[in-house]
Amino acid sequence: MIRLLLNLLISLVACAIGIVVAGWLLDDMTVSTGGFVTAVVVFAIAQMILSPFILKVAATNAQAFVGGVGIVSTLVALFIATLVGDGISIDGVSTWILAALIVWLVTAVASLLVPFILIKMGVKALQNQK
């Protein structure tokens, strides 16, 4: 149960970082503080549900697209997140494509780094308790 909660926390933090970085880099992508948490939660849930589904469809019907599943599921999850609330707004086809690439890349890197940061924080907290 603890592992599941940690994985969920890592996923949420990584998604939040990816969305913030994309919003910071792209002029036609707006990330508002009002609906940010909702947008991140919706995006993360959509990403978790869509990735396996899109991978299965691609593996069955279009083997050449299997490598791009992460980017496609990120694009669809961003679209779903823009529909819920006003946390994210994206204008223009090129911004949609760049946003999906940036969020996908930053989220992947953050998913690798966030566990190490959490472990470091946990070790530091344990040392401070002594």
Tell me the per-residue pLDDT of 37-74, one tens digit each, with 9 for 90 and over.
999 999 999 988 888 877 777 667 666 565 677 888 89
Structural domain spans, the chain: 16-129
User: Between 6 and 126, where is the model more confident?
Assistant: 6
Residue 90's pLDDT is 95
Q: From the CB of residue 69, how many other CB atoms can be counted at a distance below 10 Å? A: 19
Structure token digits, residue 86: 């006003």
**pTM reported for the whole predicted model:** 0.81
User: Between 117 and 89, where is the model more confident?
Assistant: 89
- Angstrom CA distances, 110 to 7, 18, 32, 123, stand at 12, 8, 21, 20
Please name every residue paired with 30 in a beta bridge, in sequence order, or none if there are none.
89
User: Between 1 and 52, where is the model more confident?
Assistant: 52
- Cβ neighbours of residue 127 closer than 8 Å, sequence gap 6 or more: none
Residue 115's pLDDT is 81
End-to-end CA distance of the chain: 27
Cα 42 to Cα 77: distance, rounded to the nearest angstrom: 8
Structure token digits, residue 111: 């998913």
Sign of the CA dihedral 29, 71, 101, 95?
A: negative
pLDDT for 75-113, tens place per residue?
999 999 999 878 899 999 999 999 999 999 999 889 888
